[in-house]
Amino acid sequence: MHTSTKDTRKRVLLTGANRGLGLALATRLLARGDRVLATCRAPAAADALDALRDAHPDHCHIVALDVAAADAPVRLADAARAWLAADSDAARIDLLVNNAGVLKAGERFGGIDGEDVATSVRVNAVAPLLLTQALAPLLADGARVANISSQLGAIGGVTRFGTPSYAIGKAAQNMATAQLAQALGGRGIIVLALHPGWVRTDMGGTDAPLAPEAAAAGVLEVIDGSDDADNGSFRDWKGDAMQW
Ligand SMILES: NC(=O)c1ccc[n+]([C@@H]2O[C@H](COP(=O)([O-])OP(=O)(O)OC[C@H]3O[C@@H](n4cnc5c(N)ncnc54)[C@H](OP(=O)(O)O)[C@@H]3O)[C@@H](O)[C@H]2O)c1
């Protein structure tokens, strides 16, 4: 009789893993035994992520990546292919978290700078779309793709002027999520737009009610609990449906 031990460890690719929500996600994923390819712009300055890798040397691999760079999709796919091949030819990514994001603070109507809008769209929307496209052949059938969105990207929720560059970037990301859900759904891949809550990070500020650890726990619970019916949906960290 042939006996096989099923490899239940998940392989996760996470962008923007050096601080904030990304670091909390990496911490939690590694604590539960997953293997993580963690990207950040400047590994040499990523002390907290470095310490995490030291604590999980076999499970954490760090790759330098500016998600908005023109060659980012090709470079990340190459790095992911090499990372997977070190395990086995059949290894695939079980979860891709497009977490890296940027928010331009202090924008005023009358002074919106087109470059800020373009940067937001590039980092918050174009990057998740193109990185996911490039990684698609390396995703397992039935994998999850979590695009970290924001309630500020919900067009139906706009009641005041504020952070237009960010809001436009996240609204565009939401459309990218809907498009990716259609492109990948046939393989059983579930693509989600996830609002992590208002989180105490450099972006969320010190008044934010949610600790990064709590937001990360919620986001991962929603991802783990998702099924085919959730493909292309927009949810918050508690799993509640968000308006688009
Ligand atoms: N905090 C909140 O309340 C809140 C609410 C809703 C949604 N979100 C979303 O949650 C995600 C994480 O946010 P956060 O609160 O953890 O923000 P954060 O503390 O400002 O961290 C942002 C992360 O994104 C990375 N990043 C930015 N631009 C990048 C680029 N071009 N290439 C690669 N990495 C880049 C940063 O890397 P560097 O260190 O190199 O800059 C950093 O790792 C974002 O998508 C954000 O929009 C946050």
* CB-based pocket (< 6 A), ligand 1: 16, 18-22, 40-42, 65-68, 99-102, 123, 148, 150, 195-196, 198-199, 201-204, 208
Please give, one letter per residue, the 3-state secondary structure of 180-207: HHHHHHHHCCEEEEEECCCECCCCCCCC
Q: What number is the average pLDDT over the span 161-173?
A: 98
Condensed to tens digits (0 to 9), the pLDDT of residues 57-79 reads 999 999 999 999 999 999 999 99
6 has pLDDT over 80:
no
Residue 174 appears among annotated catalytic residues = no
- Across the chain, mean pLDDT equals 96
The pLDDT assigned to 9 comes to 74
Answer whether residue 82 shows pLDDT above 60. yes
Residue 211 contacts residue 28 (beta carbons within 8 Å):
no
SS3 217: helix
- Mean pLDDT for the stretch of residues 27-32: 98
Q: How many helices (H) and strands (E) does the chain have?
A: 7, 7
What's the pLDDT at 8? 59
Q: Give me the percent of the chain exceeding a pLDDT of 70.
A: 97
**Dist CA 26 CA 13 (whole Å):** 9
List 11, 84, 166, 177, catalytic entry: 166
163: left (phi over 0), alpha (psi -120 to 50) or beta: left
What pTM value is reported for the model? 0.97
Instruction: Give the Cβ contact number of residue 160 at 10 Å.
Output: 4
How far is the CA of 225 from the CAs of 116, 192, 222, in angstroms? 36, 12, 5
Query: Which amino acid, one-letter code, is at 155?
Result: I
Domains of the chain: 11-236 (3.40.50.720)
User: What percent of the chain is predicted at pLDDT more than 90?
Assistant: 96
pLDDT digits (tens, 9 = 90+) for 175-214: 999 999 999 999 999 999 999 999 999 999 999 999 999 9
